Amino acid sequence: MSPGRGRLVAGNWKMHGSLASNRDLLARLCVSLNANQGAEFAVCPPFPYLAQVSAALTGSGITWGAQTLCENDHGAFTGEVSGAMLRDFGCRYVIVGHSERRQLYSESDALVGAKFLAAQRSGLLPILCVGETLGQREQGETEAVVARQLDAVVALAGVSALESAVLAYEPVWAIGTGKTASPAQAQAVHAFLRGKVARMDSGIADALVLLYGGSVKPANAVELFSQPDIDGGLIGGASLVADDFIAICKAAMRNS
Ligand code: PGA
């Protein structure tokens, strides 16, 4: 990790948790993590638990966010949640373009771009996810895929929008599968993404926080986070297990 850039470890709880299990997990995180450890830590629970998370984490130094948002600001959009609503519950971040949203809910690059803009309109920091499938990697298309996903957002929002955003490389074949990209594989894509942004604006590229996601565990976090272009992680399964998430957060601190 670069000494000048921020570091972030964010937990993506996906559709997991309950009031009771969240209470235990949040209490453990509050005891072990705070913001003054050379890295920032965040959790992204399902919408119904945002009030619980906000009550538990206010004043802890740990921040929180949501897993998606509506591309519209308000109106007749049954079932949707706006950025302003997320801000009402103290969210700092919102994940956009997660591969599960792209694949299972048919979110196109254009829709991801619209959600990215909606997040920034509301004062949220989007965590924009990009990543290739196994088939695309095997066809040698990794760079083309992540470039297309990033370009779709930059075309809409402009490169300067990346000053108020986080980028997460999440190879689809590594998410929830136990197969992690090797540190070298992840670093290569991170360097490609940073280089691509640098050709548009080198200052923005230097400051851009680039997370790796996909089966990050305590056993591989230190090596992943020690790569020069990996500034932290977006953590799924392991973010639900207090000991594992805390260990991964500490791996980000160790490299501070
Ligand atoms: P995983 O999920 O850590 O369980 O692989 C990562 C993610 O989907 O953000």
Q: Specify the pLDDT at position 2.
A: 53
248 occurs within a structural domain: no
Cβ burial, residue 87 (10 Å; 0-12/13-18/19+):
middle
In this prediction the pTM is 0.96
Q: Specify the pLDDT at position 67.
A: 98
Q: How far is the CA of 239 from the centre of ligand 1 (A)?
A: 9
The answer to whether the CB of 176 is under 6 A from ligand 1 is yes
Instruction: Return the residue whose CA atom lies nearest to atom 7 of ligand 1.
Output: 236
* Catalytic residue numbers, as ranges: 98, 170
Instruction: Return the residue whose CA atom lies nearest to atom 2 of ligand 1.
Output: 236
The predicted-structure confidence for 204-246, as pLDDT tens digits, reads as follows 999 999 999 999 999 999 999 999 999 999 999 999 999 999 9
149 occurs within a structural domain: yes
- Ligand 1: which atom is nearest the Cα of residue 216? 3
Is the pLDDT at 254 greater than 80, yes or no? no
Cα→Cα distances 180→41, 80, 104, 188, 190, Å: 21, 33, 21, 14, 15
Kindly state the helix (H) or strand (E) to which residue 168 belongs, with its residue range. Answer: strand 166-169
Is the pLDDT at 144 greater than 90, yes or no? yes
Q: How far is the CA of 75 from the centre of ligand 1 (A)?
A: 32
Q: Specify the pLDDT at position 234.
A: 98
The answer to whether the CB of 235 is under 6 A from ligand 1 is yes
Q: How far is the CA of 227 from the centre of ligand 1 (A)?
A: 19
**Domain count along the chain:** 1
Kindly state the helix (H) or strand (E) to which residue 219 belongs, with its residue range. Answer: helix 218-225
3 occurs within a structural domain: no
Nearest one of 103, 124, 143, 111 to 44, comparing CA atoms: 124
Which range among 34-43, 149-158, 171-180, 230-239 shows the weakest confidence by mean pLDDT? 34-43
Q: How far is the CA of 76 from the centre of ligand 1 (A)?
A: 32
226 occurs within a structural domain: yes
Q: What is the chain's mean pLDDT, rounded?
A: 95
Mean pLDDT to the nearest integer, 138-143: 96
The predicted-structure confidence for 65-84, as pLDDT tens digits, reads as follows 999 999 999 999 999 999 99
φ and ψ at 160, to 5 degrees? Answer: -65, -20
Which range among 2-16, 193-207, 212-226 shows the weakest confidence by mean pLDDT? 2-16
Share of the chain above pLDDT 70, in %: 96
256 occurs within a structural domain: no
Q: Specify the pLDDT at position 219.
A: 96
Q: Tell me, what CATH number does 117's domain have?
A: 3.20.20.70
Pocket test for ligand 1, best of 216, 220, 239, 245 (most atoms within 8 A of CB): 216
Domain that holds residue 141: 8-240
245 occurs within a structural domain: no
